[in-house]
Amino acid sequence: MEDILTGDAQLDQAVRQWLQYDQNEKTKSLVQDLLKDGSVEVLKKKFSHRMEFGTAGLRAAMGPGVSCMNDLTIIQTTQGFCCYLEEIFGNLKERGVVIGYDARAHPTSGGSSKRFASLAAAVFISRGVPVYLFSDITPTPFVPFAVSHLGLCAGIMVTASHNPKQDNGYKVYWENGAQIISPHDKRIAKAIEENLVPWPESWQTEEALKSSLLKDPYQDVHAEYFKAIQKHCHFRDINKKSDVKIVHTSVHGVGHSFVQAAFKAFDLNPPYAVEEQKDPDPEFPTVKYPNPEEGEGVLTLSFSLAELEGATVVLANDPDADRLAIAEKQANGKWQVFTGNELGALMGWWMFHCWKNQNTDPNAVKNLYLLSSTVSSKILRAIAVKEGCHFEETLTGFKWMGNRARDLLDQGKSVLFAFEEAIGYMCCPAVLDKDGVSAAAIAGEMVSYLATKGKTLSEQLTSIFNEYGYHISKNSYFICHDQNVIRSLFDRLRTHDGTRGSYPTICGRFTISAVRDLTTGYDSNQPDNKAVLPTSSSSQMITFSFANGGVATMRTSGTEPKIKYYTELCAAPGDSDVAQLRKELDDLVNAIVESFFEPEKNKLQPKPE
């Protein structure tokens, strides 16, 4: 090894340690092959930087090395997490944790979500902690539901959601049923670094799976989850009589049987399942990206089945079924794939419509809350202003909305709905996270109800905008794997006139009226120029407000190599010049791309078509 890695003692030590610790013959062999081949650059990528444990947990490619998801890094992560929980909860051994997993697998390295979940269970059981390990694949929402339902200290979901097939992830929930937020992430990361040596029992999955500390919550959670979401079924008689035809795809993920069960719980006709995609398949053979947010390319087979069966609506979950996409056939025969913001408007309107039908007390609305992330459409704010309920925005991600929802619920408030533009919807407070299963059934009921009124989803969306004001958004991203390029781009925006903290005042023909930088904590709208929302120096996020009422946010993704941008223009209720509004937004987006991205443009990849 010394001959191959001469001059890099740190890498030499990291590889030696790996070969000493790893008991998975496949990953061990892959590393030994890299050594024999003299693949120093590959080894550097795999061993120079450990995966960073953040508020989203872990997400990376499966394979050998400290930068990848594999048996050893799962054990090390779980040992750290377990030690941190022992430090926080004196009753961890009474309450326990829940662990779920999706259907991902990686034949080359021998890694799979089920294998990783078993190893995590073995770590906790070795310390005398009860583990509620699901006996089969589940949607991600089952884990936060189980944490709350069973009163556990924490939950782990092994999934990479909609990431490419080679990836996997490790998502963590706190005792409140929401994803962890800071400072838990930093403290868990520190505990992981302090517990890198595998405990002997951590590898003993067979013994752990026979332990009396291991419990299977599948049947109980399955039954109780569907009971909980049934509370949001308000038009059962209409559902029973509805002849609306809906197609559903789980995109080779876990969602099929659970969405079928959700439709049954709502007395809706079962959706037609896309046969080629209904069963879990970690190879995702029919799609380039297993992400329904990408739109038509992922829904081609769904559209074909809908044409065959005469269905007018398509529902699609991502592989772990925590997100939902919807498309509708239009009068001209073409399919409209709704954006996440448009679905936020439709689902938000529907949830409020149902709530209003159930509540006759005029004062009850004052206790009602709607939430969305700061990069999502402000349509919920418009609804709240007109209807008299409350609206709050949070930082990007359901970890923030879930924790805020829990705070409000603990104060005796009612949280009706929360959403983010990345097709994530929380319609039921029993799950303090996005949930594509309950959202699918609730959307199915909305479609059936609208059909009795002779209305399509598209027509209802227009009605919402006519009542609450048009909210037109346009979002996209650039792919960038180089952190130096990303830093350069955002630093340039922060030093517009050559001094730190000076931001652009104009973008093309558009005047910038305010700037909020949640990386540095600056907000020109606040009297003291200090941002109200939490800030994070480890991620990039700047929001520009424009004199024409437009808002644009640029941020880096926490789980993918992307620089995302989000833009929205809003009109007052009654302003129906949508064409002019769209043109103004198009011009604004073009100006943003030319002014803010241009210097680095040749180092960025545009969003794939």
Residue 220 pLDDT exceeds 60: yes
Instruction: Give the chain's mean pLDDT.
Output: 95
The region, left, alpha or beta by phi > 0 then psi within -120 to 50, assigned to residue 58 is beta
Looking at residue 550, its pLDDT comes to: 93
Q: What is the mean pLDDT of residues 363-380?
A: 96
Looking at residue 5, its pLDDT comes to: 58
Task: Please list, in sequence order, all residues whose beta carbon lies within 8 angstroms of the beta carbon of residue 147, skipping any fewer than 6 positions away.
Answer: 98, 154, 155, 173, 174, 175, 177
Nearest CA to 554 among 511, 482, 493?
Answer: 493
Residue range 31-73, pLDDT digits in tens:
999 999 989 999 999 999 999 998 889 999 999 999 999 999 9
DSSP-derived 3-state class of residue 518? coil
Residue 441 pLDDT exceeds 90: yes
Cβ atoms of 474 and 555 closer than 8 Å: no
DSSP-derived 3-state class of residue 496? coil
Confidence of residue 233 (pLDDT cuts 50, 70, 90): very high
Q: What is the mean pLDDT of residues 505-526?
A: 96
Task: Please list, in sequence order, all residues whose beta carbon lies within 8 angstroms of the beta carbon of residue 17, skipping any fewer than 6 positions away.
Answer: none
Q: What is the mean pLDDT of residues 394-411?
A: 96
Looking at residue 298, its pLDDT comes to: 95
Residue 501 pLDDT exceeds 90: no
Provide φ and ψ at 33, rounded to 5°: -65, -40
Residue range 265-300, pLDDT digits in tens:
999 999 999 999 999 999 999 999 999 998 888 999
Looking at residue 576, its pLDDT comes to: 66
Least confident of 47-61, 337-351, 366-380, 502-516: 47-61
Question: DSSP assignment of 249-276, as one string?
Answer: E-TTSS-HHHHHHHHHHTTPPPPEE-GG
pTM of the model: 0.94
Looking at residue 6, its pLDDT comes to: 42
Looking at residue 2, its pLDDT comes to: 44
Q: Give the active site residue among 112, 118, 161, 377.
A: 161
Confidence of residue 1 (pLDDT cuts 50, 70, 90): very low
DSSP assignment letter at 376: S
Confidence of residue 609 (pLDDT cuts 50, 70, 90): low
DSSP-derived 3-state class of residue 428? coil
Active site residue 161: yes
Q: What is the mean pLDDT of residues 484-491?
A: 93
Looking at residue 204, its pLDDT comes to: 96
Question: Which H helix or E strand runs over 85?
Answer: helix 71-88
Cβ atoms of 465 and 471 closer than 8 Å: yes
Residue range 518-570, pLDDT digits in tens:
999 999 999 999 999 988 888 899 999 999 989 999 999 877 889 999 999 99
Residue 88 pLDDT exceeds 60: yes
For the chain, helix, strand, coil in percent to 5 are: 40, 20, 35
Pairing mode, strands 131-133 and 97-101: parallel
Beta strands in 243-400 (DSSP E): 246-249, 272-273, 313-317, 324-329, 335-337, 368-373, 390-394
Residue range 582-606, pLDDT digits in tens:
999 999 999 999 999 988 888 898 8
